[in-house]
Amino acid sequence: MPRPFAEFVLQLNPRDNVGIARIEIPAGVELALPSGELLTTVERIPAGHKLALRPIAPGEQVLRYGYPIGLAIVACPPGAWVHSHNLVVGDIFKDYGYTVVDVPKPRPSGRTLQGFLRPDGQVGTRNYVAVVSTVSCSAHVAMQIARHFTPDRLAGYPTVDGVIPIVHGSGCAPYPGERHNAYGSALFLHRCLANLARHPNIAGCLMVGLGCEGNGVEDYCTGGDITLTPAGPAAREGCVPGLVVQELGGFRKTVAAGVEIVEQLLERAGACRRTPQPLSALKIALQCGGSDSWSGVTANPLVGLVADAVVGEGGTAVLAETPEVFGAEHLLTGRVACPEVGRKLIERFAWWNEQARLRGFTVDNNPSPGNKRGGLTTIFEKSLGAVAKGGSTPLMAVYEYAEWVAATGLVHMDTPGNDPVSVTGQLAGGCNLILFTTGRGSVFGSNLAPCIKVATNSLLYARMPDDMDFNAGQILEGADMSAAADDLLQKVERVASGERARSEEKGLPEVEFVPWQPDAVI
């Protein structure tokens, strides 16, 4: 007897010549198509993978979401498994245009969160004191200063969420590379660290350097170096204090001095209190990692609805990962707020295409082995799902890596696809919360902003319950997308107001702040 098509296969768009297997389908299963025709699988189709719904000729476009995701390289009969062995991306290089659209005004609903209002008007979702290493050589010093402040030692500061180390693996000397002064590693590192002092989740900041590095404390602490007094070190009010290991006499003395400075900063941070704030205070980093075939069906469109809601309140949603836009460029270039935004986005596409040419790689290298095991085949297929995180509102601005995000609405930041590197740029831009979708599973977390993990499928949500915050897999099981989006927005409100995300319950990570080194990470 033929089996019901919809029970086994999901066709995302009537134009699509492939469907997505809801579960693993053995070879020889006969399916009754909506048209009344019968289709028999000619081989095993893994769950989440594609199968041909009608004959696909060599060189013919394969369509998913109604858009091309690549070209068939051999004939694919109905019921055939369509994946990396018979599908290639084709030509990535394109001529780009853009369309300017009207920008609707925000319509705040009156919904609020409980946040920390800062003197500059920003709102923190957390209240941290940060100890920042300017160079990898002072990272252990910074970590030891922060680790001194155990939960017991912070018990007297109930509104302080922690003393966090911000460390990284660079800063000794500039990295060689093209456009060094305009788009290079040293500039990125400086932006990342300089912006920490004004991040809404940081109430106080201490910089720690070694003393001989190119990226020194003096670059961040003008007028704010430590003053040595008979009673010990002290930081001037309103300045970012800095410690230099070589000048203070070594590791132990620097740690001791740092502890004294942080104790002063804690007094200021401890005076901060949560108060009702509008949802326009949210600046959300949109991310996906460990994506699978369901990412673009459940979690990413769901996050896109939440992004639309936040933008509608007057807040900001920051899309990133430019290599994961190729193939879905039209979804952004077709809704820019002004010509400058369109031109700047196209410049970023051109930069990545040029890097691919110079380095002899292809942007289609982006889908990882795990992405492919999860059913994704080409960068076009991955991008069409990834861009869904950005929702449907006009694109208001395009930022280079780690630039401070001043615009409200949907914006794009140029970052690579690597999750920690990309999130670091968004956090440096001022994001105070992260929405992170995953289909294969991820344990990414941040010690700078809470990270809400959204599972694309119920199997993942059940398999990694200690890491997942929200199950978007319910949508595959019949849940209403709009209702699920409102549930996720309520989760965002609660986490922004102090509820711990799963990634925070395990303890805050210390090594996932990773400024981009363009010559090393693409």
Distances (CA, A) of 178 to 185, 213, 421: 10, 21, 19
Co-location of 63 and 181 in the same domain: no
Co-location of 236 and 298 in the same domain: no
The reply to whether 60 falls in a domain is yes
Co-location of 222 and 144 in the same domain: yes
Q: Count the alpha carbons within 13 Å of 466 in the hemisphere toward its beta carbon.
A: 4
Co-location of 472 and 355 in the same domain: yes
pLDDT band at 180 (very low <50, low <70, confident <90, very high): very low
Q: pLDDT at residue 224 above 50?
A: no
SS (H, E, C) 488-508: HHHHHHHHHCCCCCHHHHCCC
* Pairing mode, strands 451-455 and 433-438: parallel
What is the predicted pLDDT for the residue at 176? 47
Co-location of 78 and 123 in the same domain: no
The reply to whether 211 falls in a domain is yes
Whichever domain contains 165, its CATH number is 3.40.50
pLDDT band at 105 (very low <50, low <70, confident <90, very high): very high
What is the predicted pLDDT for the residue at 508? 84
The reply to whether 142 falls in a domain is yes
Average pLDDT of every residue of the chain: 92
Write down which residue in 209, 236, 270 finishes a domain.
270
Helical pair 481-496 and 299-312, crossing angle rounded to 10 deg: 60
Query: Tokens representing 471?
Result: 């199950």
The label of the residue with tokens 């788009």 reads: 183
Per-position DSSP letters for 353-405, written without gaps between them: HHHHHHHT--GGG-S-HHHHHTT--SHHHHHHHHGGGGTTSPEEEEE-TT---
The reply to whether 101 falls in a domain is no
Co-location of 138 and 248 in the same domain: yes
- Cβ neighbors of 349 (< 8 A, separation 6 or more) are 96, 322, 325, 326, 329
pLDDT band at 225 (very low <50, low <70, confident <90, very high): very low
Specify whether the CB–CB gap between 443 and 503 falls below 8 A.
yes
Co-location of 247 and 346 in the same domain: no
The reply to whether 436 falls in a domain is yes
- Cβ neighbors of 84 (< 8 A, separation 6 or more) are 372, 377
Query: Residue 302 phi/psi, 5° resolution?
Result: -65, -45
For residue 303, the surrounding DSSP H or E stretch is helix 299-312
Cβ neighbours around 223 below 10 Å, total? 8
What is the predicted pLDDT for the residue at 93? 65
What is the predicted pLDDT for the residue at 178? 42
Whichever domain contains 17, its CATH number is 2.30.130.110
Query: Residue 277 phi/psi, 5° resolution?
Result: -135, 150
Quick one: average pLDDT of 301-330? 96
**How many structural domains comprise the chain?**
3
SS3 (DSSP) at 163:
strand
The reply to whether 236 falls in a domain is yes
Residues spanned by the domain of 171:
116-270
- Cβ neighbors of 45 (< 8 A, separation 6 or more) are 21, 24, 25, 51, 81
- At residue 473, what is the residue type? G
Tell which residue, 242, 196, 133, has the closest CA to residue 511. 133
pLDDT band at 179 (very low <50, low <70, confident <90, very high): very low
Alpha-carbon distance 162 to 160, whole Å?
Answer: 6
Co-location of 234 and 300 in the same domain: no
Cβ neighbours around 476 below 10 Å, total? 16
The label of the residue with tokens 């400058």 reads: 340
Cβ neighbours around 73 below 10 Å, total? 13
Alpha-carbon distance 320 to 348, whole Å?
Answer: 12
For residue 190, the surrounding DSSP H or E stretch is helix 185-194
The reply to whether 158 falls in a domain is yes
Alpha-carbon distance 484 to 54, whole Å?
Answer: 33
The reply to whether 514 falls in a domain is no
Co-location of 63 and 140 in the same domain: no
- Burial state string for 353-385 with b = 16 or more CB within 10 A and e = fewer than 16: beebeeeeeebbebbbebbbebbbbbbbbbbbb
Question: pLDDT above 70 covers what percent of the chain?
Answer: 93
Co-location of 76 and 161 in the same domain: no
Q: pLDDT at residue 227 above 60?
A: no
pLDDT by residue (tens digit) across 5-48? Answer: 999 999 999 999 999 999 999 999 999 988 889 999 999 999 99
pLDDT by residue (tens digit) across 473-487? Answer: 999 999 999 999 999
Co-location of 124 and 78 in the same domain: no
DSSP 447: S
What is the predicted pLDDT for the residue at 519? 65
pLDDT band at 226 (very low <50, low <70, confident <90, very high): very low
* Pairing mode, strands 123-124 and 112-117: antiparallel
The label of the residue with tokens 């319509």 reads: 107
- At residue 431, what is the residue type? C
* Pairing mode, strands 242-244 and 202-209: parallel
- Cβ neighbors of 386 (< 8 A, separation 6 or more) are 288, 291, 295, 296, 300, 321, 324, 325, 328
What is the predicted pLDDT for the residue at 185? 72
Alpha-carbon distance 142 to 467, whole Å?
Answer: 27
Most confident of 275-279, 322-326, 357-361: 275-279
Write down which residue in 88, 105, 128 finishes a domain.
88
Cβ neighbours around 167 below 10 Å, total? 25
For residue 81, the surrounding DSSP H or E stretch is strand 81-82
pLDDT by residue (tens digit) across 254-278? Answer: 999 999 999 999 999 999 999 999 9
Specify whether the CB–CB gap between 291 and 437 falls below 8 A.
yes
Helical pair 251-270 and 139-147, crossing angle rounded to 10 deg: 50
Per-position DSSP letters for 54-80, written without gaps between them: S-B-TTPEEEETTEEEEEESS-B-TT-
Among the residue ranges 67-81, 130-144, 352-366, the one predicted with the least confidence is 352-366
Write down which residue in 216, 239, 270 finishes a domain.
270
Among the residue ranges 51-55, 222-226, 292-296, 454-458, the one predicted with the least confidence is 222-226
SS3 (DSSP) at 20:
strand
Specify whether the CB–CB gap between 416 and 402 falls below 8 A.
no
pLDDT band at 237 (very low <50, low <70, confident <90, very high): low
* Pairing mode, strands 162-166 and 128-133: parallel
Specify whether the CB–CB gap between 318 and 285 falls below 8 A.
yes
Task: Select the more confidently predicted residue: 8 or 219.
Answer: 8
Co-location of 148 and 250 in the same domain: yes
Q: pLDDT at residue 521 above 60?
A: no
CA 37 remoteness from chain centre: 43
What is the predicted pLDDT for the residue at 520? 54
Q: pLDDT at residue 281 above 50?
A: yes
